[in-house]
Amino acid sequence: MTKVLVLYYSSYGHIETMAEEMARGAREAEAEVAIKRVPEIVPDHVAQRAGYKVDQRADTAAVAELPDYDAIILGTPTRFGNMAAQMKNFLDQCGGLWFENKLVGKVGSVFTSTGSQHGGQESTILSVHSVLLHLGMVVVGLPYTFKGQMRMDEVTGCSPYGASTLADDGSGGDRRPSANELAGARFQGRHVAEIARALAAGRLTEAA
């Protein structure tokens, strides 16, 4: 069975919600799916003061378990157009896996969340893609066969780079992932699982 890890960081729950939908899509493709978080690195009192959602169900992932999966789907909110430090901190502990080529040929895919519509969704996803490429992973996005990313009748996230959502409603209020954005996440999860299954069937030789 194809094994997929949805690995995310979320301060306020938007990426957490998208992660659950991503996992649902991968399960629809009959993959065995785990949803895990990267560790928080902000001190408790700072997280509380900033109103972080601290009651997230997912277990914390360990770097050492990453080679156990055929595909890893990473979710991170933007921080100034870049991935969150919590995700970068986790990925920066993958030097040993890089040295031993443990993630070469595995599928990697990314989703994100920004506060505003043009707040850096694509640059954030690309910041993670760079790391995945250095690790030798096969980067998969959200193809245009997910038609929802073409919508012009409503404000929506999602692009060929990956599923995404917008966290603010424009007046400082909270906007939750829309039905269209959740459908994009589900589509990407299914797509990644199907590609991982096809790749695993082909198997890379040691030299590849």
Ligand X SMILES: Cc1cc2nc3c(=O)[nH]c(=O)nc-3n(C[C@H](O)[C@H](O)[C@H](O)COP(=O)(O)O)c2cc1C
Alpha carbon distances (Å) from 168 to 59, 81, 172: 27, 16, 6
From 2, 10, 56, 180, residue interacting with ligand X (rule: CB under 6 A): 10
73 binds ligand X (CB under 6 A): no
The reply on whether position 116 binds ligand X by CB under 6 A is yes
Q: Which residue has the tokens 């990925």?
A: 91
Is 205 labeled as ligand-binding? no
Please report, as a single letter, which amino acid is at residue 186: R
Round to whole Å and give the CA distance between 91 and 132: 9
Strand bridging mode 138-140 / 32-37: unpaired
* Helix, strand or coil, per DSSP, at residue 151: coil
Nearer to ligand X, 73 or 135 (CB): 73
3-state secondary structure of 148: helix
Out of 119, 162, 184, 189, name the contact with ligand X by CB under 6 A: 119
Q: Which is nearer to ligand X, 173 or 202 (CB)?
A: 173
Residue 154's nearest CA partner among 184, 131, 178, 171 is 178
Is there binding between residue 113 and ligand X (CB under 6 A)? yes
14 near ligand X (CB under 6 A): yes
Query: How is residue 65 annotated by DSSP?
Result: G
> Any known ligand binding at 78?
yes
Instruction: Enumerate the β-bridge partners of residue 111.
Output: 75
Determine whether the annotation assigns residue 98 to a binding site.
yes
From 10-18, 88-96, 98-106, 143-151, give the range in contact with ligand X by CB under 6 A.
10-18
Would you say 2 or 78 has its CB closer to ligand X? 78
- Judged by CB under 6 A, the stretch of 28-36, 60-68, 111-119, 130-138 that binds ligand X is 111-119
**What is d(CA 108, CA 175) in angstroms, rounded to the nearest whole number?**
28
Stretch that binds ligand X, among 57-65, 79-87, 141-149, 152-160 (CB under 6 A): 79-87
Rg (CA), the chain: 16
For the annotated binding site, the residues are 10-15, 78-80, 98, 134
Residues that bind ligand X in the complex, under the rule CB under 6 A:
10-15, 77-81, 113-116, 119-120, 167
